[in-house]
Structure 1
Amino acid sequence: MPARIEWTDSHSDSSDTSSTSNAHTSQARWHSESRAPVPRRVVVADDTTDAATAHRLACEGTALLWRGDFHGARQLLAAIARRVDRKALAPAPARTPAESFHLHRRARGHRARVLGMLLVLLEEKRGEGEYGEAEYGLALRRAPDVRAACRAAYGPPDGPVAVSLRELLGVLGAHEWRLKGVPVPALGGARIHPHYGVFSPVRGEYVDLVARAPLPVAVRLGAARPRTAFDIGTGTGVLAAVLARRGLDRVVATDINPRAVTCARENLQLLGFGGQVEVVSGSLFPGPEGGAALVVCNPPWLPGRPTSAVEQGVYDSGGAMLSGFLSGLAERLEPGGEGWLVLSDLAEHLQLRTRAQLLADIGAAGLRVVGRLDTVPRHPRAADTGDPLHAARAAEVTSLWRLAPA
């Protein structure tokens, strides 16, 4: 049974301020993309709720269901965030990079939990017309139209559902990115349209590596038969599209995230590669049999447990995806084929993994390094000296490791 939250709406008679006879209890389904637990207690908040009270309640684990003006809710969320940030402890200079990373992530987790306590209620509305389908509604003053964004993220409505305002703002922002798209120079400026919950290819340097790496012998000399590539963990489908554009006859792309499978299929159809690329659901290699001339994998770059669907593109719990790719690669490569591992060394700078460990894992999998291409990050955070992890980000290098059977 879906988890639910419960709260009390009080509508007192104005002639008797102590009256609570009109109070009634309401319920709604609880939904959290970050897998946050159901709040232990929920109170109603509105434009009269001050930031100090809201911050205190949120820190205590009490959620606030907003009933006021939408823009007032955004202002309150920003005010709570400022209070959380002021109370955050600055990392001590003597801490190791690994300690700084774990403390930074813990602080961000606390921040997300507190900000996630400001809730809104998405109601189910009947669409226009006699047979209009159910739609999402947000019954707040000056509320934006959430229908398309919420349907894209959550599917059809199924009764009232409570979500954090922070999550809803993410849903709305992601929908704008989906409509606008992200231009990809390696695709001739064509746009990739990321869906909610799918990691966006805004960091284009890793895409450029796949676009310019020399193709393996099995691809260059394999014209007598279809040249096949696998794209492991395809996400938006951007790397599968680059491989198709580079002339691979057939690309099989996999992803464990259902949203990513749908997203990749839509993008590849829009780009005209729908007949060239097959997108299937799976955690690593497609099917039990069959090999490829080229296998590409851009696993999450940091070992750690993801706390949301989007974080699955950043954190690889226990290094499982990286380990699985390396251990299964040699037997899936055709003669003369290569595996391309696209990986940042940020984990090395944060002391979460060593270069020696990575090379040992490559060797233990029966693989050898036949080449490597490097690039440096171009995203703004690499130049942000106020970032607690600035030293590691500034030194980061992203590499495409060309691997072949030993």
Structure 2
Amino acid sequence: MQPPPVIRWTEGGEARSARWRSERGAPPPTKVMVVDDTITADEAQGLAGQGVALLWRGDFHNARQMLTAIAHRLDRAPRKGKKVAAPSSRMDAFNAERQARAQRARTLGMLLVPLEADYTTPLRRAPDYREAFLEAYGPGDEPSVVSLRELQGVVGAHEWRRKGVDVKALGAKIHPHYGVFAPVRSEYVDLAMKAPLPAALANNSLAFDIGTGTGVLAAVLARRGVARVIATDLDPRALACARENIERLGLSATVEVVLANLFPEGRAPLVVCNPPWVPARPSSPLEHGIYDFESRMLKGFLQGLAAHLSPGGEGWLILSDLAVHLGLRSHDEMLASIAAAGLVVVGHLDAKPTHPRSSDVADPLYGARKAEVTSLWRLAAGAIVP
């Protein structure tokens, strides 16, 4: 294993260093300036925009206000009279939006805070976030430095994990862990609750949930009466999260969570998969629940499905067509991939999204989001297309 990255700076005329923490995989900044409450927001934004990291030594609440002030400056509309070329396509709009968000994240990520070995924050009026960091990073063993923006993400994830996300289809809450995609969009869960179960389950009540994440779809299948569900994932955080949720819901006797690259061994009458919906390269490990680079998980599921279906079984592919409306994937390509994998479509259910961004006319991707449909494709083994 590679040693953890280290950030280095000079403070009080002495060379200092600490472990660098970045879940998005950002390298440690090479230019670091120690700052406190005396720096202005304009100065901070200017330095951060030039790639100078600002290690905060002032009041913690002032640091949060500084981050908000920088964000407001970054989000201001272009100066009057400044022309901004409109994207020529939705794909261009998507790429421009991602680029802008990445640049914004890089700039905001330049405001840094120190952490002690036990995850206490040695700044005036700093809250006790040790439990949140312990959940996200595991036991601490050395001082470290983290961006304030990532600290806020860790704390926000801790609150989600503590409070849980209401899932109406289950009549219960799912508690997502840090770095595991949360079921905040209900339509894909509702589709899994409504789709007709394959008749083959009567002979062998077994289902696979591929890429289980929080375990929400495995729980839905168990609540629908499937006697045994095997839920798979490769991410250690997802495996721990799913096991905790399944136990919390009292479904441990029905659902088994296992480490596997897509499929477990054997065949099942029902195999369910809800892969990331957008075929783009994730910019950080935390984006793997959103972006499926080169549609690798989608293609892997389709290509392996027929070999893991029992006779008369079905594969349920739950997928948004947002990528189609963004020009990142075509409907015909989807159908060709299904046919090439020796599968046929025996039915599908559709649902329109209800999340706030689907009705936000100010969203640069509003046109695609408005047209988006989430579908549950019911797939069965058929003839392989040469």
Counterpart residue number, 1:355: 331
What's the counterpart of residue 73 of structure 1? 63
SS in 2 for 1:151: helix
**What's 1:335 paired with?**
311
**Quick one: which of 159, 162, 171 aligns to 2:154?**
171
Cα drift, residue 87 of structure 1: 7.0
69-78 or 365-374: bigger deviation: 69-78
1:270 aligns with 2:263: no
For 2:327 and 2:83, locate their aligned partners in 1 and report how far apart those are by CA, in whole Å: 20
Which whole-Å CA distance do the structure 1 matches of 2:308 and 2:269 have between them? 9
The alignment's C-alpha RMSD in Å is: 1.3
3-state DSSP class of the match of 1:43?
Answer: strand
Choose 1 or 2 for highest CA Rg. 1
Within 1, Cα distance between the matches of 2:136 and 2:116? 15
TM-score normalised according to structure 1 size: 0.91
Deviations 1:289-329 (A, max 9, x none): x1011000000000011122331110001110000000000
Deviations 1:261-305 (A, max 9, x none): 000000000101112111112231013xx1011000000000011
Structure 1 alignment gaps of length 5 or more:
11-22, 125-134
Per-residue deviation, 1:112: 0.6
Decide whether the 8 Å contact of 2:87 with 2:93 is kept in 1: no
C-alpha distance in 2 between matches for 1:99 and 1:286 = 39
Q: Is the 8 A contact 2:229 2:256 kept in 1?
A: yes
Query: Is 1:238 aligned to residue 228 of structure 2?
Result: no
**Counterpart residue identity of residue 30, structure 1:** W
Return the letter of the residue paired with 1:264: A
Contact map agreement 1:198 1:309 (CA 8 A) in 2: no
Partner of 2:9: 7
**1:96 aligned residue:** 89
Q: Select the residue among 180, 186, 191 that pairs with 2:169.
A: 186
Asked if the contact 2:136–2:154 (Cα under 8 Å) also holds between the matched residues in 1, the reply is yes
Query: What is the one-letter code of the residue matched to 2:185?
Result: R
Answer whether contact 1:65 1:121 (CA < 8 A) is retained. yes
Superposition pairs of residues 204-219 of structure 1, within 5 angstroms: 204-219=186-201
Deviates more, 1:34-43 or 1:85-94: 85-94
Are the counterparts in 2 of residues 100 and 389 from structure 1 also a CA contact under 8 Å? yes
The one-letter code of the counterpart of 1:316 is D
Gaps of 5+ in 2: none
Question: In percent, how many aligned pairs have the same letter?
Answer: 61
1:4 aligned partner, one-letter code: V
Q: Deviations over 1:164-207 (max 9, x none)?
A: 1000001001101100001111112x110000000000101100
Q: 1-side partners of 2:268 and 2:84: how far apart?
A: 47
Q: Does 1:86 align with 2:76?
A: yes
**What CA distance in whole angstroms lies between the structure 2 residues aligned with 1:371 and 1:244?**
22
What is the CA-CA distance between 1:70 and the residue it aligns to? Answer: 1.1
- Aligned partner of 2:298 in structure 1 is 322
Q: How many residues align?
A: 377
